Amino acid sequence: MLKANLYFDQIDFYKYLPQTDCKECGLDSCKELLKRLKTGGIKPEVCPHISKNMAHAFNTALNVDRIIPEIELIQLPVLAESGLVEFNMPDKNSSLLISCNSEITQLAISAIFATTIKPFYVLFVDTKGDTVDMAMIYKTFTAKCVKDMIVDSSMSERLNHKEMIIPGFAKPLNREIERLTGWNVNIGPVCCGELPLYFGEDWVAP
């Protein structure tokens, strides 16, 4: 079975390490620590500068290929429902993520969010079932789609902030989304498997 590319190789683990090369873990450098983490020869807890929550985030991201089920590579988009989905009972202070209504993407995000009790709102915009990378190519992920979904889901009333996180692939739309919505846009990772590291201390284990 040919597997869909979920961009696990794009996770930038190193930027979440202390990068001090303090050797307190018993290794010569943070790069050596990362190498050992990736081979499973050591756990992130050996670094005294990595907190309990951050260690959980590292362990989740390092094992993302086992957490997210294998997804078969298909020729045509698989459409899922668009709209607002709540994870872990979000409130007015919760983070808002933007994604697409690809079944592949929604399966991957749901699997990752099952590893934390951190609450989220996720707006799955209608990209006709395209994954974000393909949606950017085919222009089915647009600033207008995001704006319309923000309005339709009444996000301004649901949240006491105007901050959203868009996928890394959608970075070229950053300024246009801000202009159309009036919201502040943060650029998230390319791979949803990096989200635990992106949120770091907030990635509390269930």
Q: Which option is the CATH number for 12-67: 3.10.560.10, 3.40.640.10, 3.30.390.10, 1.10.15.40?
A: 1.10.15.40
pTM, two decimals, is 0.93
Fill in the amino acid letter for 185.
V
pLDDT at 74: 65
Q: Where in the chain is the domain with CATH 3.40.50.11600?
A: 83-202
pLDDT at res. 77: 82
Residues counted in the chain: 206
Q: What is the pLDDT of residue 48?
A: 95
Hey, what CATH class is 83-202 in? Answer: alpha beta
* CATH 1.10.15.40 placement within the chain: 12-67
First to last CA, the chain: 32
The rounded Cα 65 to chain-centroid distance in angstroms is 14
Per-residue pLDDT, 78: 84
For tokens 């994870």, the residue is 87
**What residues in the chain have per-residue pLDDT under 50?**
none
The model's pLDDT over 134-161, given as tens digits with 9 standing for 90+, comes to 999 999 999 999 999 999 999 999 999 9
Of 127, 135, 90, 129, which is closest to residue 107 (Cα–Cα)? 129
